[in-house]
Structure 1
Amino acid sequence: MTEGQVLDIVRDAIYNIIICAAPLLLISLIVGLIVSIFQTVTSIQEQTLTFVPKIVAVFLGMLIFGAFILTTLTDYMTELWTNFSTFLG
């Protein structure tokens, strides 16, 4: 296995991590921003008010994007195992 192959595998792994995490992170960011604006307007400073909606939103996001994430990771692992013999030389 050459250094170039290792770098390609690592690059693809990082890309897949970003692609799989992005939808859930964006959902959490948007919900956090909305709750923060709501807290600023109403002057309520309750920690659970920011935590619970994010958890619920991320859970719903996992239900919606779970198939996409699983397919992306499965395709990447299948590609790795398919090319395993070429990595060994």
Structure 2
Amino acid sequence: MTEALIGDIFTNALYLVLAIVMVVIIPSLVVGLVVSTFQAATQINEQTLSFLPRLIVTLLAIIAFGPWAVNAVLDYTRDIYLNIPFLIG
């Protein structure tokens, strides 16, 4: 097992984590931006007004993309386990 191979495995794992995190975080960021713009336009400075919509959107994103994320991690783990003989041999 060479350093390049370890780097490739680590890079693929980081890309997978980044993809899963982005799918959950981007909708929350968009909703936060919309709510912040609304608060700035109306000068309403209520903390729960910005927190609750982001929480709901984040939970909906986890519900919607959770099965995909779990399957992606399972597929990556399965690929690593199936390739162990080729990686060390």
Secondary structure class of the residue paired with 2:45: coil
Sequence identity (%) = 35
Q: Which residue of 1 aligns with 2:25?
A: 25
Q: Which residue of 2 aligns with 1:37?
A: 37
Structure 1: tracts of 5 or more residues without a match? none
Query: Counterparts of 1:11 and 1:64 in 2: how far apart (Å)?
Result: 26
What RMSD in Å do the two structures reach over aligned CA positions?
Answer: 1.0
Secondary structure class of the residue paired with 1:45: coil
Query: Counterparts of 2:23 and 2:87 in 1: how far apart (Å)?
Result: 32
- Cα shift at 1:86: 2.2
Query: Counterparts of 1:26 and 1:4 in 2: how far apart (Å)?
Result: 32
Query: Which TM-score applies when normalising by structure 2?
Result: 0.92
Pairwise mapping of residues 61-80 of structure 1 onto structure 2 (< 5 A)? 61-80=61-80
Q: How many residues align?
A: 89
Query: Counterparts of 1:75 and 1:48 in 2: how far apart (Å)?
Result: 39
| 1:37-71 superposed Cα distances (whole Å, 9 cap, x missing partner) | 11011101122211111111000011111111111
Structure 2: tracts of 5 or more residues without a match? none
Query: Counterparts of 1:33 and 1:79 in 2: how far apart (Å)?
Result: 38
Q: Give every structure 1 segment of 4 or more consecutive aligned residues whose post-TM-superposition deviation is greater than 4 Å.
A: none
